[in-house]
């Protein structure tokens, strides 16, 4: 690799290092400064030809976020949470398994891990009232919620991956669509979740044997604070329009999955190789916009409320982040694509699993699964990484638990009034790193072997 590539590469890392701690919005905005420096700077060190921002990915993210935000604005999300709470309170002793599982499933249905914020107080209440160390289900649930993102057919990262992998054939000649991707990520994610929850069941001391916890509750006021009042959605009769919103959204997800599984159901149009079914990227876009419209129409949800939801705000942050970061990285890597191919093709053939490590580390660096996929996957495919390996190892796109700065991790610490979910003295020794590594590594290995079994590798 030329010295110019390494100069530009480390400049990219520097841009990410400076901007990532300030959040996804600043990460995307700051990339504009990086683009100006890279493009307007003096040659040969800089002065690169502009790359291409991932427009299809961005448009899909906007559509998915709009549909999910309409679900939240209408109150349909509360219906899902009420069902989840019934499951948790029915078998409280299994909260370390059921808590993460509920968060995982809710993420798959809603397309965002931010649903975990509403479930965390319930998970804490169930665990503390049954004398289960809250750290066990709380940390595992935060991890499980984010592990579910790549498994959701309506998540930013999943639809981004489908768009990026389109046209690339697996080892057996098959192409991977939305349903194919989810049929790999969901079982591998569940395997990772089960292993993580099993380990979490035995982590830390039981509350009655934990001297720090016993010292805390020896103070009557502190004990009252720790055990608190029961937080619940049970017994609340949710209006019928909220249930209608939930069923409209779930029905739309089911239709999208059906169209992805059976391409004959999609209209075909002339293409270079004959009639070509309508792209699933476009299908997702139009059906998620339709879901939002139907929810607003049938539940009489004011459209102006959609833009003020947490789902909409976090989704638009993701748009800006992916737009800026992917454009900046594409500009640098595309300029040196021939060099990268010459150097890395043989290495990738010998150590294809290295893709997963790179994806994991970049995810932590940018604090976004979607941004990590947008940065790493196109380059990996262009330098010759087998598409089957890229798909099989895609669960490694979640790595931002390594340092506990992500909102769901911080929320878990705040909601755990017992203090068992914590950040250690050395920062890296916190409650999330081992569950995260166990869950993600297990899911990645499982996904790799599932891809082998299907002939994709």
Three-class SS string for the chain?
A: CCHHHHHHHHHHHHHHHHHHHHCHHHHHHHHHHHHHHHHHCCCCCCCCCCCCCCHHHHHHHHHHHHHHHHHHHHCHHHHHHHHHHHHHHHCHHHHHHHHHHHHHHHHHHHCCHHHHHHHHHHHHHHHHHCCCCCHHHHHHHHHHHHHCHHHCCCCHHHHHHHHHHCCCECCCCCECCHHHHHHHHHHHHHHHHHHHHHHHHCCCCCHHHCHHHHHHHCCHHHHHHHHCCCCCCCCCCCCHHHHHHHHHHHHHHHHHHHHHHCHHHCCEEEECCEEEECCHHHHHHHHHHHHHHHHHHHHCCCHHHHCCCHHHHHHHHHHHHHHHHHHHHHHHHHHCHHHHHHHHHHHHHHCCCHHHHHHHHHHHHHCCHHHHHHHHHHHHHHCCCCHHHHHHCHHHHCCCCCCCCCHHHHHHHHHCCCCCCCECCCCCCECCHHHHHHHHHHHHHHHHHHHHHCCCC
Cα dihedral: 414, 416, 418, 421 (round 10)? -90
Between 75 and 143, whose confidence is greater? 143
Task: Assess whether pLDDT exceeds 70 at residue 154.
Answer: yes
Range with top average pLDDT, 74-83, 367-376, 436-445: 436-445
Residue 434 has pLDDT above 90, yes or no: yes
Identify which has the larger pLDDT, 294 or 2. 294
Q: Tens digit of pLDDT for each residue in 210-233? A: 999 999 989 988 888 888 766 566
- What is the rounded CA–CA span in Å between residue 94 and residue 88? 8
Rounded mean pLDDT, 158-167: 85
Alpha-carbon gap, residue 8 to 271, rounded angstroms:
38
Average pLDDT over every residue of 81-102? 86
**pLDDT grade for 442, boundaries at 50, 70 and 90:** very high
Asked if 34 and 23 count as a contact pair (C-beta separation under 8 A), the reply is: no
Picking from 113-117, 234-238, 247-251, 451-455, which range would have the lowest pLDDT averaged per residue? 113-117
Q: Using CA atoms, how far apart are residues 364 and 369, in angstroms rounded to an integer?
A: 9
* Model confidence pLDDT, tens digit, residues 280-289: 678 878 888 9
* pLDDT reported for residue 438: 97
- d(Cα 188, Cα 443) in Å, to the nearest integer? 5
| Per-residue tokens: 97 | 């398994």
Predicted confidence at residue 118, as pLDDT, reads 64
**Sign for the pseudo-dihedral over CA of 35, 37, 43, 46:** negative
Q: Higher model confidence: residue 435 or residue 328?
A: 435
**Residue 342: what pLDDT?**
62
C-beta of residue 284 within 8 angstroms of C-beta of residue 278: no
Written as six digits, the tokens of 22 are 């300030």
pLDDT value at residue 405: 61
Mean pLDDT computed over 416-441: 86
Structure token digits, residue 325: 């970061």
Residues 15-43, mean pLDDT to the nearest whole number: 82
352's CB contacts (< 8 A; 6+ apart) are: 385, 386, 389
pLDDT at position 115 is: 64
Strand partners, 269: 276
Q: Which residues pair with 235 in a beta bridge?
A: none
Mean pLDDT of 312-321: 76
Q: How many CB atoms lie within 10 A of CB 183?
A: 17
Nearest to 394 by CA among 200, 164, 116: 164
Q: Mean pLDDT lowest for which of 23-32, 45-54, 211-220, 254-263?
A: 254-263
Of 39-43, 171-175, 363-367, 395-399, the poorest mean pLDDT is in: 363-367
Q: Tokens 């029905």 map to which residue?
A: 251
144: confidence class by pLDDT, cuts 50, 70, 90: very high
- Residue 28: per-residue pLDDT: 82
Distance of CA 304 to the CA centre of its chain: 27
| pLDDT tens digits along 171-194 | 999 989 888 999 999 999 999 999
């Amino acid at each position: 690799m030329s010295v110019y590539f390494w100069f530009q590469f480390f400049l990219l890392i520097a841009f990410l290092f400076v901007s990532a701690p300030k959040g996804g919005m600043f990460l995307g905005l700051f990339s504009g400064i990086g683009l100006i420096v890279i493009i307007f700077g003096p040659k040969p060190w800089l002065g690169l030809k502009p790359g291409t921002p991932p427009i299809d990915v961005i448009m899909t993210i906007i559509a998915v976020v709009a549909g999910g935000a309409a679900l939240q604005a209408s109150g349909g999300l509360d219906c899902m949470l009420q069902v989840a709470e019934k499951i948790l309170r029915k078998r409280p002793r299994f909260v370390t398994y059921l808590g993460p599982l509920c968060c995982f499933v809710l993420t798959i249905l809603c397309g965002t891990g931010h649903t975990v914020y509403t479930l965390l107080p319930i998970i804490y209440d169930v665990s503390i009232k049954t004398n289960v160390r809250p750290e066990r289900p709380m940390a595992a649930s935060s991890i499980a919620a984010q592990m579910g993102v790549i498994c959701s057919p309506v998540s930013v990262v999943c639809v981004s991956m489908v768009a990026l992998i389109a046209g690339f054939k697996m080892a057996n000649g098959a192409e991977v669509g939305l349903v194919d991707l989810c049929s790999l990520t969901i079982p591998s994610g569940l395997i990772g979740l089960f292993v993580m929850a099993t380990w979490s069941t035995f982590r830390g001391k039981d509350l009655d044997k934990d001297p720090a916890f016993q010292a805390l509750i020896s103070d009557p006021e502190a004990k009252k604070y720790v055990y608190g009042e029961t937080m619940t959605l049970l017994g609340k009769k949710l209006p019928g329009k909220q249930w209608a919103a939930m069923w409209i959204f779930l029905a739309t997800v089911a239709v999208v999955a059906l169209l992805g599984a059976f391409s004959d159901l999609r209209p075909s149009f002339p293409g270079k190789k004959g009639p070509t079914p309508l792209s699933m990227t476009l299908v997702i876009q139009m059906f998620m916009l339709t879901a939002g419209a139907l929810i607003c129409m049938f539940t009489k949800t004011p459209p102006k409320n959609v833009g003020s939801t947490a789902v909409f705000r976090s989704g638009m942050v993701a748009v800006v982040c992916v737009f800026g970061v992917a454009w900046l990285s594409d500009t640098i890597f595309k300029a040196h694509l021939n060099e990268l191919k010459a150097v890395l093709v043989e290495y990738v053939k010998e150590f294809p699993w290295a893709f997963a490590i790179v994806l994991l580390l970049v995810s932590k660096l940018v604090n976004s699964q979607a941004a990590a996929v947008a940065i790493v996957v196109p380059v990996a495919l262009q330098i010759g990484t087998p598409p089957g390996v890229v798909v099989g190892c895609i669960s490694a796109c979640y790595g931002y638990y390594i340092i506990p700065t992500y909102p769901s991790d911080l929320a878990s610490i705040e909601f755990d009034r017992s203090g068992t979910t914590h950040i250690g003295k050395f920062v890296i020794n916190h409650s999330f790193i081992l569950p995260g590594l166990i869950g993600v590594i297990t899911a990645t290995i499982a996904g790799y072997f599932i891809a082998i079994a299907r002939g994709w590798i």
